Amino acid sequence: MKVVRSIKEMQEISNDLKKVGKSIGFVPTMGFLHEGHLSLVRRAKEENDIVVVSIFVNPLQFGPKEDFNSYPRDEERDLNLLRDLADFVFIPEAKEMYPEGYSTYVEVENLTTNLCGRFRPGHFKGVTTVVLKLFNIVKPTRAYFGKKDYQQFRVIERMALDLNLEIEVVPCEIVREKNGLAMSSRNVYLTKDEFEETSIIYKALSYGKELIEEENIRDPKVVIDKIKEIIQSAKSLKKIDYIQIVEPITLQDVDKIESPVVILFAGYFGNARLIDNVEVNL
Amino acid sequence: MKVVRSIKEMQEISNDLKKVGKSIGFVPTMGFLHEGHLSLVRRAKEENDIVVVSIFVNPLQFGPKEDFNSYPRDEERDLNLLRDLADFVFIPEAKEMYPEGYSTYVEVENLTTNLCGRFRPGHFKGVTTVVLKLFNIVKPTRAYFGKKDYQQFRVIERMALDLNLEIEVVPCEIVREKNGLAMSSRNVYLTKDEFEETSIIYKALSYGKELIEEENIRDPKVVIDKIKEIIQSAKSLKKIDYIQIVEPITLQDVDKIESPVVILFAGYFGNARLIDNVEVNL
């Protein structure tokens, strides 16, 4: 496993790999890796000749009041976790990614106005911009994204299609803690008591899924109210940003549940903003 | 010379060329080719193994009140002009470039707020979006742009740098009619009398350059007023959008002329919006 810190060096490595016909599987991360990330890396290893993991806490995707400074970082631990899985770990510096005079931004409209887009203005603009840059540097054949960040996955899938990137955007299943909480680097913000209470999120979303798939409830409002009632029973819940039921491709709220949908939650337990979702098959 | 109309076919051709190590010179155009375009194509041919020219009147870069529908088109004539110069002519269809659900846009901030950006809202967003798509499809080693569209050249140069595209953006000298008018597909909008009067533009800009380089005038206002006075003497001048003196990289107006600058003009003669510029060396 080789650690690469320069953009130019990473591009040369990728260009050389492409020239000899190697497929590149890419897992972009913000580091502080957990089993969710590692499942993406393992999948990338299975499906490609070479695996590149990037670690970059992207300042562009954090709002001014968000947790960029406190976001957990542990490069040494990350590198140890990747040792037998990745061929290259790309760790660029912010000042090389966004040098003085940097001015170019990519936005996926429509898909970014709903859900987290309503609560984190500029977030997805920061995500698409950095991911496009990383794609241009790493030149992957396939790029792997966890479905915990469902909206992010759909936005990047759309960007890759719209910009003719010839990169396969591969969604991967959510990896959960034993209590059901979706794994996230931000889970370290939770106290032990808060962590225990977060099990309610996945339970509530799963109950919503059951209401639709098995009880044939078709009114999203009925399902959402039930989920909200369950989650609100948690004492350490500070705030719900949203509970929404949307169409999987356009991410627009549905009036009536008649085809596959996704139920998504975002909210705060203690100081941790948590997101989760379940896909509903019909 | 091969005409390619499908995005997928063009990408396959470019991928195959890259695999065998061929350099690709790319000239993106909106067609209705003139000697300015052909000078770019000849330069691309000199400096690369393979030359790709695209012809695409990009709806995204025209404002609702602009001349998208009346923009001159003549594919047969264009193909004849390119016959001995280009290896591939890529002519995509708008419905394949922007299919239903298309949502992704690229913007270069800062550089696009001044000059034409003030008069054509959304224009550069349309330009950068289509050029990035074309770059991703054609995968050029070098891309050629005329300096008549000076702001466009700087904006695309910035985009290529910011997005780590590894494409050399090559600026090419303005090609002029015998009377000094910068060549443009839009010049066909001019009547014979209007065309003759447009010679004043380059004369006035050249006089401005002389005032700075030889008369040592350092106050941009003095130079601009002199240029304006000259251009306003033309009867068929309908409207001046701007005469500005800017720093070449940031495109910001200068208070005092102390280093190289560019003097730019945009305005209407009859129904034709014309732009032109001269670079001033100090």
Residue A82 and residue A158 share a domain: yes
Q: Do A158 and B21 touch (CB under 8 A)?
A: no
Return residues 96-135 of A near B (CB < 8 Å).
Answer: 101-111, 128, 132-133
Domain that holds residue A237: 185-280
Q: Give the chain A residue nearest B7 (alpha carbons).
A: A164
Alpha carbon A240 to chain centroid, angstroms: 19
Structural domain ending residue among the three candidates B137, B172, B207: B172
Q: Least CB-CB distance to B109: which of A105, A158, A166?
A: A105
A54: which strand partners? Answer: A28, A90
Let me know: does B230 contact B253? Beta carbons within 8 Å. Answer: no
Q: Does a structural domain hold residue B268?
A: yes
Q: B159 in helix, strand or coil? A: helix
Residues A45 and A97 in one domain: yes
Nearest to A136 among B19, B137, B163 (CB): B163
Sequential DSSP letters for chain A: -EEE--HHHHHHHHHHHHHTT--EEEEEE-SS--HHHHHHHHHHHHH-SEEEEEE---GGGS-TTSSTTTS---HHHHHHHHTTT-SEEE---HHHHS-TT--EEEEE-STTSSTHHHHSTTHHHHHHHHHHHHHHHH--SEEEEEGGGHHHHHHHHHHHHHTT---EEEEEPPPB-TTSPBP-GGGGGS-HHHHHHTHHHHHHHHHHHHHHHTT----HHHHHHHHHHHHTT-TTEEEEEEEEEE-TTT-PBPSS--S-EEEEEEEEETTEEEEEEEEE--
Assess whether A131 and A11 both reside in one domain: yes
The CATH code of the domain that includes A221 is 3.30.1300.10
Burial class (CB in 10 A: 0-12, 13-18, 19+), B99: exposed
pLDDT on residue A99: 98
Q: Does B180 reside within a domain? A: no
pLDDT at B35: 98
For residue B192, the distance in angstroms to the closest alpha carbon of chain A comes to: 42
Residue B87 per-residue DSSP state: S
Cβ neighbours for A99, distance < 8 A, ≥ 6 positions apart: none
Per DSSP, what are the bridge partners of residue A269? A237, A272
B contacts of A163 (beta carbons < 8 Å): 104, 106, 132-133, 136
Among the listed residues B21, B56, B36, the one whose alpha carbon sits nearest the alpha carbon of residue B130:
B56
Q: Which residue of A has its CA nearest to B159?
A: A104
Task: Tell me whether B281 touches chain A (CB under 8 Å).
Answer: no
Spatial CA neighbour of B61 closest among B142, B144, B156, B137 = B156
Pairing type for strands A88-90 and B272-280 reads: unpaired
Contact between residue A126 and residue A62 where contact means Cβ atoms under 8 Å apart: yes
Q: Which of A144, A172, A200 is the last residue of a domain?
A: A172
Q: Is B245 part of a structural domain of the chain?
A: yes
The Cα–Cα gap between A61 and B278 comes to 40
Which pTM was predicted? 0.97
For residue B97, the surrounding DSSP H or E stretch is helix B94-97
Residues of A in contact with B110 (CB under 8 A): 101, 103
Whether A177 is in a domain gets the answer no
Domain-terminating residue out of B142, B172, B202: B172
Q: Is B83 within a domain? A: yes
The pLDDT assigned to B82 comes to 98
What is the reported pLDDT for B18? 94
Per-residue pLDDT of chain A (282 residues; tens, 9 = 90+): 999 999 999 999 999 999 999 999 999 999 999 999 999 999 999 999 999 999 999 999 999 999 999 999 999 999 999 999 999 999 999 999 999 999 999 999 999 999 999 999 999 999 999 999 999 999 999 999 999 999 999 999 999 999 999 999 999 999 999 999 999 999 999 999 999 999 999 999 999 999 999 999 999 999 999 999 999 999 999 999 999 999 999 999 999 999 999 999 999 999 999 999 999 998
- The one catalytic residue among A4, A37, A223, A243: A37
A276 and A167 belong to one structural domain: no
B109–A133 C-beta distance less than 8 A = no
Residue B65, domain member (yes or no): yes
Q: Which residues from chain B sit within 8 angstroms of residue A158, using beta carbons?
A: 101, 103-104
Contacts of B16 (CB under 8 A, 6+ apart): none
> Minimal CA–CA distance to A35: which of A161, A220, A177?
A177
> Which one of A104, A108, A132 has the shortest CB-CB distance to B103?
A108
User: Does one domain contain both B146 and B69?
Assistant: yes
Which amino acid, A225? D
Q: Which of A103, A109, A136 sits opposite B164 (nearest CB)?
A: A136
Distance CA A153, CA A262 (A): 13
Contact B104 A158 (CB under 8 A): yes
Distance between B248 CA and the closest CA of chain A, angstroms: 14
Distance CA A226, CA A200 (A): 13
Q: Mutating which of A164, A165, A252 best tests the B interface, going by the most B Cβ atoms within 10 A?
A: A164
Domain assignment present for residue B75? The answer is: yes
Chain A closest CA to B121's CA: distance in Å? 17
Co-location of B198 and B272 in the same domain: yes
Domains contained in chain A, number: 2
Instruction: Tell me the shortest Cα–Cα distance from A141 to chain B, in angstroms.
Output: 13
A123 a catalytic residue: no
Tokens found for residue B133? 């798509």
Instruction: Please indicate whether, in this complex, the C-beta atoms of A164 and B137 are within 8 angstroms of each other.
Output: yes
Beta-strand ranges (E) seen in B39-122 are: 50-55, 88-90, 104-108
CB contact under 8 A, B104 and A163: yes
Closest CB from B102, B105, B249 relative to A107: B105
Nearest to B162 by CA among B117, B132, B137, B136: B132
Same domain for B145 and B228, yes or no, is no
Q: What is the dihedral of CA B264, B268, B269, B273, to 10 degrees?
A: 80
CATH of the domain at A122: 3.40.50.620
Report chain A residues whose CB lies below 8 A from the CB of B114. none
ipTM tops 0.95: yes
pLDDT at B143: 99
Size of interface A-B (CB pairs under 8 A): 80
pLDDT at B86: 98
Are B211 and B130 part of one and the same domain? no
Q: Where are the beta strands (DSSP E) in B56-204?
A: 88-90, 104-108, 142-146, 168-172
Contact between chains at A163 and B133 (C-beta distance less than 8 A): yes
Whole-angstrom distance, CA of residue A86 vs CA of residue A254: 41
**A189 and A168 together in one domain:** no
Query: B253 CA to chain A: closest CA distance, Å?
Result: 16
User: What value, to the nearest 5°, has the Cα angle with vertex B266 and ends B260 and B268?
Assistant: 160
| Closest in B7, B103, B159 to A110, CB measured | B103
Distance from CA of B210 to the nearest CA of A (A): 31
Return the structure tokens found at B239. 């409207």
B191 and B164 both lie in a single domain: no
- The whole-angstrom distance between A88's CA and the closest CA on chain B is 19
Are A98 and A209 contained in the same domain? no
Q: Which amino acid is at A19?
A: K
Question: Does A25 reside within a domain?
Answer: yes
Q: Which listed residue (B37, B139, B154, B158) is catalytic?
A: B37
Give the single-character DSSP code of B61.
Answer: G
Among B11, B102, B106, beta carbon nearest to A104: B106
Residues 32-61 of B with CB under 8 A from A: none
Residues (pLDDT < 70) of chain B are: none
- B159 & B196 share domain: no
